[in-house]
A and B are shown apart, each in its own frame.
Chain A
Amino acid sequence: MADPLLTLASVHTHIGQYHILQGVDLTVPTGEVTVLLGRNGAGKTTTLRTIMGLWPPSAGRIAFAGQPIGGLPPPDIARRGIAYVPEQMAVFSDLTVAENMTLAALAGPPDTARLEWIFGLFPALKKFWRSPAGVLSGGQKQMLAIARAIVEPRALLLIDEPTKGIAPAIIESMIAAFAELKRANTTILLVEQNFRFASSLGDTVAVMDDGRIVHRGTMGDLAADSVLQSRLLGLSLDAHA
């Protein structure tokens, strides 16, 4: 396994009176795709939001590239090289596709060559470049949300259920795009319920339940072990396969 880029040690998160994360231990190796699986309400989204600083941890340690980031405000975490694609995509509907991309480029105007690379991954974005993001379909919005995260090289991408509510044809093109990101050695922590999508991309896997990591291993081992899949993920896995 490669060196860890991100480490969570005994991380707890409270949202109001609710104790959501109850001691999460997770390692994301550099240059690999780590998939976070689990049923609804297991704490996957909370884990990503806690890493991003949107819900600060109440206890535990989060380290990115060896430096503690737990409790830092989201802008500071983003500027250390972590990009976040939330479950609801959160594209800015009133801004054009181009404006969304411009806003995400922290170092100045988006790099032309990188934009061409992104257009290669998501051709629809070039077509709708000057259209308000609000007119895009759900799949195109998801593409824009991912493109926004990679408009500049980032050390780590946190991506929350990119295939949720997306048409199968779009999922295929997304698999191809993620495969390209993987070839570019991008480190990704991917929350996903679509097991076929997850297993086609993941190097390592962690399964959550009730706010804790209950299984860690390689994706290959989990994909090959239907008994383990059934025990960890139950019927929800088959429903999404």
Chain B
Amino acid sequence: MTTTATEQSTTVDDARPATPRDRLPLLLVPLLALIALPLIGSPTTWVTLTIAALAMGMMIFVISSGLTLVFGLMDVLNFGHGAFIAVGAYVAMSVLALFPGLTQASSLPLNLAGLGLATFAAMLVTGLLGFAFERIIIRPVYGQHLKQILITTGGLIVAEQMIHVLWGGDQKPMPLPAGLRGAFTFGDVNIEKFRILAVAVGLVVFATISLVLNRTKLGLLIRAGVENREMVEALGYRIRRLFTGVFVAGSALAGLGGTLWALYRETLTAAIGGEVIVLVFIVIIIGGLGSVGGCFIGSILVAMMANYTGYLAPKVALASNILLMVAILLWRPQGLYPVAKR
């Protein structure tokens, strides 16, 4: 019954599905864009808004992707996710301030190096914070949703107050590095340079997460754990370690997302996490709790809706996203890509 390693032909790659996945939700993105075009009227404005929405969507995705996995895998309602967004943004701001030579230089590579350094620091700090948060705050309340909501909300409040203590309570500027200011102009369409960077970062994060989830055994474990934690343990895997790893990764991604979000706004306060968290929860509900693919599409849809309605009827921008969520849940009550759970 034994064979050599060279004879072993079944790999994770071979195991990927041959049958096509459900692609219907993908059509919602172009559909929403096409519906918005006649309402907006001007094709130039429409293109600008759509590209801005893609950038915003990517940032929301970066923030949400970790949270949806945390919920799907660990069944944890983490209302404290906003803390990682805010801490990441503040750490990045501090690192950027330490290296003005990098951020204010007229060289784009130097600017990107400075930004990379700040992002790395933000992800490192939020990852470590996530590790402590999971061990101290989340672990005692696994399986107890009400306590999770209370204690993670408390964690968020404490984190915000700690930010006030460490960095002060006033609004902070978060200027873009010199090379990322301004816009590229294509005809009448202006595309801000930072938005291109945000889209690129979002796509890289999506590709990386997809690669890990679909092409590695670690990814198989995460996907299986989202569906049935108990069976994963019965197969011989210590899922608690996986929980911690996913929580740390999710926290680090929130730190990255917080950095991008603060640069996008060019200012930040300790409440920055709380401001975006509503959109984040809408996204993970729309996408299907635990589904990274659904989270990706949901992020783009939410950002498009926010941008289009922000232009057409600013007063109903947030309400429009809640309506979007209601419409999608009426169509697919478990979200765009429901994850089978036991």
- A: which residues have CB within 8 A of B? 52, 54, 73-75, 78-79, 84, 86, 88, 90, 92-96, 98-99, 101-104, 106, 108-115, 117, 130-132, 134-135, 148, 153
Residues of B within 8 A of A73 (CB): 233, 238
Chain A nearest Cβ from B216, distance in angstroms: 11
- Cβ B223 vs Cβ A94 within 8 A: yes
- Cβ A75 vs Cβ B223 within 8 A: no
- Cβ B3 vs Cβ A112 within 8 A: yes
Known: A99-B12, A131-B18. A88 touches B342 (CB 8 A): yes
- Cβ B235 vs Cβ A94 within 8 A: no
Question: Nearest CB to that of B8 among chain A residues?
Answer: A109
Question: Nearest CB to that of B233 among chain A residues?
Answer: A74
- In addition to A78-B233, A94-B339, 5 A-B residue pairs with Cβ atoms within 8 Å of each other are A92-B224, A94-B223, A111-B3, A113-B2, A153-B1
Distance between Cα atoms of A93 and B223 in the complex (Å): 10
Known: A102-B217, A103-B220, A104-B235. A112 touches B1 (CB 8 A): no
Chain B nearest Cβ from A233, distance in angstroms: 29
Taken residue by residue from 8 to 31, chain B's Cβ proximity to chain A (1 for < 8 Å, 0 otherwise) reads as 111110111111000000000000
Q: Is B275 part of the contact surface with A, judged by Cβ < 8 Å?
A: no
Distance between Cα atoms of A92 and B14 in the complex (Å): 17
Question: Nearest CB to that of A158 among chain B residues?
Answer: B234
- Cβ A112 vs Cβ B234 within 8 A: no
Distance between Cα atoms of A81 and B223 in the complex (Å): 24
Report which of B7, B16, B235 forms a contact with A96, defined as CB distance below 8 A.
B16
Question: Nearest CB to that of B18 among chain A residues?
Answer: A130
Report which of B12, B19, B232 forms a contact with A102, defined as CB distance below 8 A.
B12
Distance between Cα atoms of A216 and B236 in the complex (Å): 31
Report which of A106, A111, A131 forms a contact with B236, defined as CB distance below 8 A.
A106
Taking CB atoms and an 8 Å cut-off, the chain B residues in 207-237 that contact chain A are 217, 220-221, 223-224, 226-228, 230-237
- Cβ A110 vs Cβ B8 within 8 A: yes
Distance between Cα atoms of A98 and B19 in the complex (Å): 13
Known: A110-B8, A111-B8, A112-B10. A103 touches B221 (CB 8 A): yes
- Cβ B8 vs Cβ A108 within 8 A: yes
Residues of A within 8 A of B150 (CB): none
- Cβ B1 vs Cβ A111 within 8 A: yes
Known: A54-B230, A112-B3. A90 touches B10 (CB 8 A): no
Interface residues of B, dominant DSSP: loop
Chain B nearest Cβ from A150, distance in angstroms: 11
- B: which residues have CB within 8 A of A? 1-3, 5, 7-12, 14-19, 217, 220-221, 223-224, 226-228, 230-239, 339-340, 342
Report which of A86, A101, A112, A131 forms a contact with B17, defined as CB distance below 8 A.
A131
Residues of B within 8 A of A86 (CB): 231, 234
Known: A96-B15, A113-B2. A103 touches B217 (CB 8 A): yes
Chain A nearest Cβ from B192, distance in angstroms: 38
- Cβ A130 vs Cβ B15 within 8 A: yes
Report which of B5, B220, B224, B235 forms a contact with A78, defined as CB distance below 8 A.
B235
Residues of A within 8 A of B5 (CB): 108
Distance between Cα atoms of A103 and B227 in the complex (Å): 13
* Max chain B Cβ within 10 angstroms of own Cβ: one of A86, A95, A115: A95
Residues of A within 8 A of B221 (CB): 103
- Cβ B220 vs Cβ A95 within 8 A: yes
Distance between Cα atoms of A95 and B340 in the complex (Å): 10
Chain A nearest Cβ from B70, distance in angstroms: 18
A sample of 29 cross-chain residue pairs with beta-carbon separation below 8 angstroms, ordered by A number, consists of A54-B233, A54-B234, A73-B233, A74-B233, A78-B233, A84-B234, A86-B231, A90-B228, A90-B234, A94-B226, A96-B17, A99-B220, A101-B15, A102-B10, A102-B15, A102-B217, A103-B224, A103-B232, A103-B235, A104-B235, A109-B8, A109-B9, A110-B8, A111-B8, A117-B1, A130-B14, A130-B18, A130-B19, A131-B18
Report which of B12, B17, B233, B340 forms a contact with A75, defined as CB distance below 8 A.
B233
Residues of B within 8 A of A99 (CB): 12, 15-16, 220, 223
Residues of B within 8 A of A112 (CB): 3, 7-10
Known: A90-B231, A94-B227, A103-B221. A130 touches B236 (CB 8 A): no
Chain B nearest Cβ from A191, distance in angstroms: 15
- Cβ A93 vs Cβ B1 within 8 A: no
Residues of A within 8 A of B10 (CB): 98, 101-102, 109-110, 112, 115
Distance between Cα atoms of A108 and B17 in the complex (Å): 20
Residues of B within 8 A of A153 (CB): 1
Distance between Cα atoms of A135 and B340 in the complex (Å): 12
Residues of B within 8 A of A102 (CB): 10-12, 15, 217, 220
Residues of B within 8 A of A54 (CB): 230, 233-234
Chain A nearest Cβ from B338, distance in angstroms: 9
- Cβ B16 vs Cβ A130 within 8 A: yes
Residues of A within 8 A of B235 (CB): 78, 103-104, 106, 148
Distance between Cα atoms of A79 and B236 in the complex (Å): 6
Residues of A within 8 A of B238 (CB): 73, 75
Distance between Cα atoms of A153 and B2 in the complex (Å): 10
Question: Nearest CB to that of A106 among chain B residues?
Answer: B236
- Cβ B227 vs Cβ A93 within 8 A: yes
